[in-house]
Chains A and B, each alone.
Chain A
């Protein structure tokens, strides 16, 4: 079997590798090059060196979008993971109707971000209108919490499933042994279950972290950055720079932002992977 794999490995890898090269590696390298250029169409680019990157530092909107993204990410990662883990603990207790609950909690994840964004926009605007507050387009506080509620509602179910899988893999004998040693429910959770599901936590935190940084459709549909770009996240800021601006100086600028954004997401997620992996328990 091993031999056959070695022999035919390249053949199996080839199609995917080709697709990956055409669909990712080549555009990425081209994008990297374009970030040093001014252009209107990608075939007709003029090399300008580092000036695009220099203008990023002077772009207040990009910096404020970065700040908004970070503050959103921190809160949403905590909210999503704590609630998802809580639900997972509840739904691994063999309650009646567990499967129905799991399905219901998972369902929001099946709806696309744009649709969700518009649905929540209507909902939140109705609530704001009833309590006499400015509507979403004029209310950056509501926009911020709206985004957190929306993405929490969407992602909790997904993360919950991963935590459930992790919890079900905690060996019964460990829990039994803890019970015999006189551990209470909190101690069992904190000292036994949690270390055993560290790998699930790594995965979930990684997913919520990257999702938060890359968030685009929900942001576009719910607030579109209103009021005055104050709820604009990084991905939307890049999109607006590239597409809503006329003139060739903006295209390379947007491209440079995108490259920087990509590096940022990769660095942050690797740092996180490293940090949580080191806490994982070897079985």
Chain B
């Protein structure tokens, strides 16, 4: 009896050890697709699209979505497994540096043929490592209803000087009007990317335009303009600039929905969060007082690139390429991506989007305004962004020239130092 008991106990222990390893095996014989998806917002739509493809062709497609902010970690773990993702994504040249050895060259593939141009591809040394699959746009979201209450229209804002005049006037009459000019420029991790990355893109892009691109160095030609707009944001807002370090992305959204602020810097992806007041909103270009402001458009680009795992078997690579091609050419695929997921896709057969901000961006392009590209994927590292963000927060709390010089130092010297660390 005792022996039996011991045996049972031992078996039970073994079971607990091994059950963790089982399950989830995919047949290795038939070609299959495994997509590690980056955008949690679109998980359900991807699952549906995968199922539709399997029903149509019989090729199994697995879609796994990484938790928000955990993509690199999940990707690293998954890529180490025997059935690794055949399709994953990187966020631009810096992300590509990490995964280059795993990226299949898209040259000559059908799906690459569908792409609208090499502006939307990650091309290095003549090899096509990644294809952008969604284009997004950002600028300053303005509440026209509140603007009207203050006696202005968006037509009054055609340059940084106009923006400054309107914002400072609204701020001066804050108590009378019941709202501030800008929503809080939160520097918590959920919101700081709007400034250390997206806003920093403007001085960066203008410098690239006028000074040319020299990898590894940046001059900081337009950092005074960066300071001006940052001053405008933090000193004409709903809260004391010293409190920004603890303000979150949700705080800014709430302020907009409650009608406590007129302006909010964010992008097309924010349409969902602001659905309650979307009819009152419009997106205006992010003016910083540089270049041809009369002709400036919104900031449009992508940081989401599809990559196919070059270390997968050739059958799986072919199956993945076929799946991607189906996604951007078949009716079901196009409908899923453009309508269900609400993406603007840079492929030949794209459908027009429903998103209000996207429509406005399209209208601006049609009116001949020059879009600002997304150059922040060239920023040398996350660490660089964090150091700039940190300095911005310090400066906001105590707005001295010394503190601004730290921003400049982290921006310019930090760029060179981080570039060197990342590229040896």
* In the complex, per-residue mask of A232-257: 1 if CB is within 8 Å of any chain B CB, else 0: 00000000000111111100000000
Q: Contacts A15-B10, A16-B13, A227-B390 hold; do A244 and B383 have CB atoms under 8 A apart?
A: yes
Identify which of B17, B73, B94, B243 contacts A246 (C-beta below 8 A): B94
Alpha-carbon gap, A246 to B73, bound state (A): 11
Alpha-carbon gap, A232 to B424, bound state (A): 25
Alpha-carbon gap, A138 to B246, bound state (A): 10
Q: B394 contacts A40, CB within 8 Å? A: no
Is A273's beta carbon under 8 Å from chain B? no
Chain A residues in 8 Å Cβ range of B76: 40-41
> What's the least CB distance linking B368 to chain A, in Å?
38
* In the complex, per-residue mask of B6-20: 1 if CB is within 8 Å of any chain A CB, else 0: 110110011011000
> What's the least CB distance linking B402 to chain A, in Å?
14
Chain B residues in 8 Å Cβ range of A44: 80, 101, 311
> What's the least CB distance linking B127 to chain A, in Å?
18
Q: Which has the most chain B C-beta neighbours within 10 Å: A15, A16, A18, A249?
A: A15
Alpha-carbon gap, A8 to B95, bound state (A): 54
Alpha-carbon gap, A15 to B12, bound state (A): 9
Q: A125 contacts B246, CB within 8 Å? A: yes
Is A86's beta carbon under 8 Å from chain B? no
Q: A249 contacts B424, CB within 8 Å? A: yes
Q: Contacts A12-B6, A16-B13, A40-B99 hold; do A246 and B79 have CB atoms under 8 A apart?
A: no
> What's the least CB distance linking B353 to chain A, in Å?
31
> What's the least CB distance linking A224 to chain B, in Å?
7
Give the residue name and chain of the B residue nearest to A42 (CB): B80
Q: B243 contacts A129, CB within 8 Å? A: yes
Chain A residues in 8 Å Cβ range of B424: 249
> What's the least CB distance linking B346 to chain A, in Å?
24
> What's the least CB distance linking B182 to chain A, in Å?
20
Q: Which has the most chain B C-beta neighbours within 10 Å: A15, A41, A134?
A: A41
Is B187's beta carbon under 8 Å from chain A? yes
Is B193's beta carbon under 8 Å from chain A? no
Alpha-carbon gap, A192 to B102, bound state (A): 67
Q: A246 contacts B382, CB within 8 Å? A: yes
Is B232's beta carbon under 8 Å from chain A? no
Chain B residues in 8 Å Cβ range of A121: 246
Alpha-carbon gap, A42 to B246, bound state (A): 37
Give the residue name and chain of the B residue nearest to A240 (CB): B383
Q: A8 contacts B6, CB within 8 Å? A: yes
Question: Which residues of B, 183-237, contact A by the 8 Å Cβ criterion?
Answer: 187, 189
Q: Report the count of interface residues on B (CB-CB < 8 A).
A: 41
Q: A247 contacts B187, CB within 8 Å? A: no
* In the complex, per-residue mask of A94-120: 1 if CB is within 8 Å of any chain B CB, else 0: 000000000000000000000000000
Question: Which residues of B, 15-48, contact A by the 8 Å Cβ criterion?
Answer: 16-17
Identify which of A11, A40, A136, A226 contacts B98 (C-beta below 8 A): A40
Give the residue name and chain of the A residue nearest to B80 (CB): A41
Identify which of B79, B102, B246 contacts A137 (C-beta below 8 A): B246
Q: Contacts A42-B80, A227-B390 hold; do A137 and B187 have CB atoms under 8 A apart?
A: yes
Q: Which has the most chain A C-beta neighbours within 10 Å: B76, B187, B246?
A: B246
Chain B residues in 8 Å Cβ range of A228: 387, 390
Q: A135 contacts B80, CB within 8 Å? A: no
Is B65's beta carbon under 8 Å from chain A? no
Identify which of B16, B101, B245, B387 contacts A40 (C-beta below 8 A): B101
Chain B residues in 8 Å Cβ range of A74: none
Alpha-carbon gap, A4 to B7, bound state (A): 14
Q: A19 contacts B13, CB within 8 Å? A: yes
Is B242's beta carbon under 8 Å from chain A? yes
Q: A137 contacts B17, CB within 8 Å? A: no
Chain A residues in 8 Å Cβ range of B246: 121, 125, 135-137
Is B72's beta carbon under 8 Å from chain A? yes
Alpha-carbon gap, A224 to B424, bound state (A): 27
Q: A12 contacts B10, CB within 8 Å? A: yes
Is A43's beta carbon under 8 Å from chain B? yes
Q: B98 contacts A43, CB within 8 Å? A: no
Alpha-carbon gap, A111 to B419, bound state (A): 41
Alpha-carbon gap, A33 to B332, bound state (A): 48
Chain B residues in 8 Å Cβ range of A224: 189
Is B422's beta carbon under 8 Å from chain A? yes
Alpha-carbon gap, A40 to B80, bound state (A): 9
Q: A134 contacts B80, CB within 8 Å? A: no
Chain A residues in 8 Å Cβ range of B59: none
Alpha-carbon gap, A135 to B97, bound state (A): 36
Give the residue name and chain of the B residue nearest to A13 (CB): B10
Give the residue name and chain of the B residue nearest to A132 (CB): B242
18 contacts between A and B (CB under 8 A): A11-B7, A15-B13, A22-B17, A40-B76, A40-B98, A40-B99, A40-B102, A41-B80, A43-B80, A44-B311, A134-B242, A134-B397, A135-B246, A137-B246, A137-B393, A244-B382, A246-B72, A246-B94
Report, nearest first, the 6 A-B pairs whose CB atoms are least far apart. A15-B13, A137-B245, A41-B80, A41-B79, A246-B98, A42-B80
In the complex, besides A129-B243, A138-B397, 8 extra interface pairs with C-beta distance below 8 angstroms are A8-B6, A40-B101, A40-B102, A43-B80, A125-B246, A228-B387, A246-B422, A247-B97
